[in-house]
Amino acid sequence: MRPHRAYSPGLTGVLSHRESHHLLEVLRVRVGDRFTVFDAEREALAEVVDLGPPVRYRILEERRPEREVGVEVVLYVALLKGDKLGEVVRGATELGATRIQPLITRHSVPKEMGEGKLKRLQTIAVEAAKQSGRLRVPEVLPPIPLKAVPEVPQGLVAHVGASRRVREVLDPEKPLALAVGPEGGFAEEEVALLEDKGFIPVTLGRRILRAETAALALLALCTSGEGR
């Protein structure tokens, strides 16, 4: 069996229907096969003891790998068209975001998000956490209006035309909030409002990036770029 990581909240010894289905139908596990189970706090090497379904396992050995950035990293991202937020959630999870907060902004084309879409984004976060070896699945929250963003200890807002670079202003030891606008960009007064809350406008280079590329570029500079 290929190495597999199964999300199992509480490491209870029983897999969910979804995880059992994957192990049985895709990976074709047998009793005695080993795989990794994880939840928000723990990770362990496990062995299949009963195919069920649901699949039951026993824990052989607990592990505590360090896969988190070390500070809270909140990504505020404007509502985007189609499936683009899915791309953002997947990449942001891999890049270490601890919370993803969609924003309703002046130029966002979608102005709301249905319950089904939110659930799908949360599932994407779980899958991306599994794939990237993270124990902590980032929260993906229902959208809020931009004016409801709280004051932040350290914030960076990606803004076309800003002159400061991330490396000039980033303090890697402080909790971090990042903001990225929609396809049509932030309105100037929205950038001013974010500045009032503690965000510094930063450039992501000379080219105009798609919003989803910008979100991941900004995160990568703050996490992967710092070796975290």
Q: Which residues bind ligand SAM (CB under 6 A)?
A: 158-160, 162, 180-181, 183, 185-186, 203-205, 207-211, 214
Contacts of 19 (CB under 8 A, 6+ apart): 6, 7, 8, 55
Q: Which is nearer to ligand SAM, 63 or 210 (CB)?
A: 210
Contact (Cβ atoms closer than 8 angstroms) between residue 73 and residue 96: yes
Q: Which is nearer to ligand SAM, 53 or 198 (CB)?
A: 198
Encoded amino acid at 69, one letter: V
Encoded amino acid at 81, one letter: K
Q: Which is nearer to ligand SAM, 10 or 205 (CB)?
A: 205
Smallest gap from Cβ 184 to ligand SAM, in A, equals: 6
Whose tokens are 């979100």? That residue is 215
Smallest gap from Cβ 215 to ligand SAM, in A, equals: 7
Q: Which is nearer to ligand SAM, 28 or 207 (CB)?
A: 207
Smallest gap from Cβ 119 to ligand SAM, in A, equals: 26
Which of helix, strand or coil describes residue 134?
coil
- Specify the DSSP element, H or E, that contains 169: helix 166-169
Tell me the residue number closest to ligand SAM, measured at CB: 185
Smallest gap from Cβ 154 to ligand SAM, in A, equals: 17
Smallest gap from Cβ 90 to ligand SAM, in A, equals: 17
Contact (Cβ atoms closer than 8 angstroms) between residue 14 and residue 49: no
Q: Which is nearer to ligand SAM, 119 or 164 (CB)?
A: 164
Q: Which is nearer to ligand SAM, 71 or 191 (CB)?
A: 191
Could you tell me the two tokens for 94?
């891999």
What are all long-range contacts of 207-210, with beta carbons under 8 Å and residues at least 24 apart? 208/160, 210/84, 210/183
Smallest gap from Cβ 65 to ligand SAM, in A, equals: 32
Could you tell me the two tokens for 198?
């503690």
